[in-house]
A and B are shown apart, each in its own frame.
Chain A
Amino acid sequence: DVKVTQSSRYLVKRTGEKVFLECVQDMDHENMFWYRQDPGLGLRLIYFSYDVKMKEKGDIPEGYSVSREKKERFSLILESASTNQTSMYLCASSLPPGQGLAKNIQYFGAGTRLSVL
């Protein structure tokens, strides 16, 4: 079974703080993703990484950065947290290209609910 682990389930931070959200996967997946989930908006892609130190912007990257120093670990960084970044953050991983239709399936962690006050 694929396991994607997010280090914190709940976080409360103050406006302007630097926030780190950590994600680890144990299936040796090349691809890792960060999403945020907001009511009525579904899941929106923030950043994607396809290899160590490699990243691509998703649909809503503003105010966020990412770090991937090891294959199994993908971190989301809020450089200066703002109240509009209060949300549920979800990390996911998937197989690389060449894996047939299985490459389409993303496996999610349990999520981190972040509140910025």
Chain B
Amino acid sequence: DQQVKQNSPSLSVQEGRISILNCDYTNSMFDYFLWYKKYPAEGPTFLISISSIKDKNEDGRFTVFLNKSAKHLSLHIVPSQPGDSAVYFCAASALFTQGAQKLVFGQGTRLTINP
């Protein structure tokens, strides 16, 4: 039962254009959403996040949009740069146990930025 889904395994974008990565979720108890970026042979690094009470969060070239009614979020990267080529994971956070939050990850989308 995949509660967080990234339906595009890969995406190829021209340098300088906009990259849009999508993510859908099914559990309405998720209250916080995160995007992680992962280079080969490295661990995921936190990129940007959004609380469920907001619909947009922006940080430089990265913007995350949340549509709660559609249970959908997206990550926009503009302009795209070659260094953005990586695997991007969407994650949703929910209360787990002992007050800690659990992250549920999507399958990942491999973004390739072409020169």
Interface size on A, residues (CB 8 A): 31
Least CB separation from A113: chain B residue = B41
Which segment of A38-46, A62-70, A79-87 sits at the interface?
A: A38-46
Which residue in A31, A90, A104 is a CB contact (below 8 Å) of B34? A104
| Nearest residue, chain B, Cβ from A105 | B46
Q: Would you call B69 an interface residue if the criterion is a C-beta within 8 Å of the partner chain's C-beta atoms? A: no
Contact status A106-B41, CB under 8 Å: no
Among A94, A110, A111, contact of B101 (Cβ-Cβ < 8 Å): A94
B34 CB to nearest chain A CB (Å): 7
Contact partner of A97 among B36, B89, B99, B102, CB < 8 A? B99
- For B42, give its contact among A50, A94, A111 (CB under 8 Å): A111
Name which of B4, B36, B45, B98 has the most chain A CB atoms within 10 A of its CB.
B98
Q: Could you tell me how many residues of chain B have their Cβ less than 8 Å away from some Cβ of chain A?
A: 29
Contact residue among B42, B45, B98, B102 (Cβ-Cβ distance under 8 Å from A54): B98
CB pair A90 B100 closer than 8 Å: no
Q: A101 within 8 Å of B by Cβ? A: yes
> Among the listed A9, A48, A104, A107, which residue makes an inter-chain contact with B49, where contact means beta carbons less than 8 Å apart?
A104
Contact partner of A42 (CB less than 8 A), chosen from B49, B51, B106, is B106
| Interface presence of B82 (CB below 8 A) | no
B9 at the interface (CB under 8 A from A): yes
Report A-chain residues with C-beta under 8 Å of the C-beta of B105: 42-44
B residues near A (Cβ < 8 Å) are: 4, 6, 9, 32, 34, 36, 41-46, 49, 51, 89, 91, 93, 96-103, 105-108
